């Protein structure tokens, strides 16, 4: 997680909307946002971390020390010119908070693009350059 925003409705007092990144060499590249999948207790714990570990604030968005690792589940993946990663996820959600993982173990941009290639092969989609 690299960015956080306060939620809506009953969670408007907590940071519950998160942006996640993958590694690209020494950089972190944002690839998706998610705001569902954690328990109320986990959201409260992450909110506390965000409040203690915010680096910058841009309007409602806080840049957070990239120390929390989450497993992201999704329904589909597609190439995207609109996203910095070049990939868009369909219905992303936090599957679980990976307290057992270190930041050095997060996925890379290449991992994400490999998932896209595998998804396209399984769904019968042909990528440009494969013809």
Confirm if 79 and 87 have CB atoms less than 8 A apart: yes
> Could you give the angle at the alpha carbon of 19 between the alpha carbons of 18 and 22, nearest 5°?
135
Range 53-59 average pLDDT: 95
Q: How many other C-beta atoms lie within 10 A of the C-beta of residue 11?
A: 16
Local confidence band at 118 (pLDDT 50, 70, 90 cut-offs):
confident
Q: Could you read off the pLDDT of 67-108 as tens digits, one per residue?
A: 999 999 998 899 999 889 999 999 999 999 999 999 999 999
Taking the model in full, what pTM does it have? Answer: 0.88
Looking at per-residue pLDDT, the higher value among 33 and 124 belongs to 33
Catalogue all structural domains in the chain, each as residue range(s) with its CATH number: 3-123 (2.40.50.140)
Q: What does pLDDT average to over the chain?
A: 91
Rounded Cα distance between 129 and 50, Å, is 42
């Amino acid at each position: 997680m690299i960015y956080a925003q306060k939620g809506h409705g009953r969670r408007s007092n907590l940071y519950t909307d998160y942006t996640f990144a993958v590694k690209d060499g020494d950089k972190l590249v944002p690839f998706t946002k998610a705001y569902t999948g954690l328990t109320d207790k986990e959201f409260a714990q992450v909110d506390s971390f965000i409040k203690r570990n915010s680096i910058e604030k841009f309007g409602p968005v806080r840049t957070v020390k990239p120390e929390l690792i989450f497993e992201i589940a999704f329904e589909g993946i597609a190439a995207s010119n609109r996203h910095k990663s070049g990939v868009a996820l369909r219905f992303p959600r936090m599957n679980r908070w990976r307290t057992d993982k270190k930041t050095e173990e997060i996925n890379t941009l290449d991992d994400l693009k490999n998932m896209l290639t595998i998804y396209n092969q399984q769904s019968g989609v042909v990528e440009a350059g494969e013809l």
